[in-house]
Chains A and B, each alone.
Chain A
């Protein structure tokens, strides 16, 4: 009947997530603060890969604009943290604004005096933007490569905006809040275990919530749309509505990642809105396996880990290596590392032997 490969067993999938996250939670007992900070960063990048897996792997929407949500949220967080440092009486304006000849705090910045409002805006603005942008695209039935081009163009527009609005964003230099994020009486020192656990906890939340959504009927409909959007309309579903929801969800996840990133780096600049960065997210997901959330996560950890520890030795040829890796994966491993694991586990017998190879459903991935 249903697949005999343990890879497709839902209980086994949830258990593997449990093992991975519990295992990762013990990391601070083994490693130094610098490495811990590296791992916190990988956790954030893994959220981005998961957002790509969700929207592209399962939704069939190749978004090259995940950096928009990531970047906007990062700016929101950067502004929030900067305003935590400012003082309404003695020091009401960030110093870069003074050098840009602003004499009072711009209206855009005022809400960020309040940390909760700042966080809310950092999450809500990118998500709402994805809703509007998605509605415009999907109602016009934009699909395939055109989605990739439109999201890329939109990303480039945001990049130049962040770059050009020097008095508000500090342009190329970016914003570097001097103190760690401080909230609910906790100072989130980027090198502390607690900050790592926050990043890991958010990654776990993002992955498990996505997993749940994919296992619901919504997840099934989204994959049906990826297979044949036209056909889904004649079943009676509003395809554009579903696409907007999954697109906005992926944007929301990227926004969570953006906030966490700035907590870990105390720095935000237009680099986060660069085209290369958003394309890299797609590569992580593809290498790990876009049809598996866990795969996408592994891809982000692996590629970025390699970049940190091996990449420096190669310097500028690193991009070339990653590009080559991407081409190899697309050509020979369309389901990435997760596909390898799936094939490997296919040889592990569970219960009855696989009798009918047709029903083992080899070309399918875990939701």
Chain B
């Protein structure tokens, strides 16, 4: 049974269908890459899974539960963590505080009023800080981080939620080659222990990390399979890989 199942998911604005009867299935422990040219509907699909936008049709099942129509925080609490395409962290809080907020063990405001402890001495705080390499930056206000560090912080925040499913929207966007390399190392270590869906444009990155690749085009499923097959798929080459020649999409 899939950890995440999309059944004929559709999202339409007034006169414009952004996602059209899109279905896919991610099994536990898998790292799935979601590819597609800009505007294909990848981020919208993540919005639909996480409750940020309402479906026009279809249904979404997570971990055996129908989550269609649930609120954002309810879906998050069931164990769906998300990194946004435009990195979203709490800029006026320190790195440590960002990670502490993300540690969502209790949703109750009154319980949290009585909580003065630090996540530092709990859960996998140290491991996560170590994984994303922000140890020396814990006291820094998040607004002062570099772009790459901000991306890593948000990955760290998603991990602090201890989610069953991680949705990562363009985690290497805007990164230098060196930073991308470090990020693929992070994903290499997450792989196997977590279920991930990663939206990515960088083909070498995808080749490095992906098990199965799903390609979207104009809101629809175009192809699905191992990267080797996808790369030689003529329809994919036509709409996507071929269009840029070098395998990189903006």
Q: Which residues of A line the B interface, CB within 8 A?
A: 1-3, 213, 215-218, 220-221, 223-224, 226-228, 230-239, 241-242, 245, 358-359, 361, 363-364
Contact = CB atoms under 8 A, between A and B. Distances in A.
Contacts of A1: 138-139
A216 B91 contact: no
Contacts of A227: 90-93
Interface in B192-230: none
Using C-beta atoms within 8 Å of the partner chain, give the interface range for chain B. 35 or more
Nearest to A214: B113
B105 to A, nearest CB: 10
Interface stretch (B140-148, B171-179, B231-239): B140-148
A159 B198 CA distance: 55
Nearest to A223: B93
Contacts of B137: 359
Contacts of A238: 71, 73, 107
Interface of B: 50, 52, 71-73, 76-77, 81-82, 84, 88-94, 97-98, 100-102, 104, 107, 109-110, 112-117, 137-141, 143-144, 157, 161
A63 B104 CA distance: 28
16 contacts: A1-B138, A2-B139, A216-B116, A217-B115, A220-B101, A223-B93, A224-B90, A224-B101, A227-B93, A233-B72, A233-B73, A234-B50, A235-B76, A235-B101, A241-B109, A359-B137
Contacts of B112: 216-218, 221
A231 B86 CA distance: 11
A226 B90 CA distance: 9
Contact of B90 (A231, A234, A363): A231
B92 A364 contact: yes
B48 to A, nearest CB: 13
Nearest to B118: A217
Contacts of A231: 84, 88-90
A306 B119 CA distance: 45
Given A238-B107, A361-B141, 16 more contacts: A217-B113, A218-B115, A220-B97, A223-B93, A224-B93, A227-B93, A230-B88, A232-B101, A234-B73, A234-B81, A235-B102, A236-B77, A237-B104, A238-B73, A363-B92, A364-B92
Contacts of B144: 358
Given A224-B101, A227-B91, A234 B141 contact: no
> Which one of A236, A361, A364 has the highest number of Cβ atoms from chain B below 10 Å of its Cβ?
A236
B130 to A, nearest CB: 16
B116 A217 contact: yes
A3 B141 CA distance: 10
Contacts of A245: 109-110
A359 B95 CA distance: 10
Nearest to B106: A217
A216 B110 CA distance: 10
Contacts of A232: 101
